Amino acid sequence: MLDYLVLYQSESGNTKKIAASIFSRLPGNSKDLIDIDTDKTIPEANVYFIGFCVHRGSCSMEVSDFLSDLSGKQIALFGTCGMGDSPEYYKDIAGRVSAWIEADNDYLGYFICQGKMPQKVRMKYESMRNDENNDQIDRFIQNFDLALTHPDDLDVEHAKVFVDHMLKKIQL
pLDDT in tens, 53-75: 998 889 999 999 999 999 999 99
pLDDT in tens, 85-143: 788 999 999 999 999 999 999 999 999 999 999 999 999 999 999 999 999 999 999 99
pLDDT in tens, 140-160: 999 999 999 999 999 999 999
Please determine, for residue 171, whether its predicted confidence score (pLDDT) is greater than 80.
no
Amino acid at the residue 17: K
- pTM metric for this prediction: 0.92
User: CB–CB of 58/31 below 8 Å?
Assistant: no
Of 16, 20, 145, 129, nearest to 83 by C-alpha is: 145
Question: Cα–Cα distance between 110 and 93 in angstroms, integer?
Answer: 10
Q: What region does 72 belong to: left with phi over 0, alpha with psi -120 to 50, or beta?
A: left
| Alpha-carbon distances, residue 13 vs 51, 52, 77 (angstroms) | 12, 11, 17
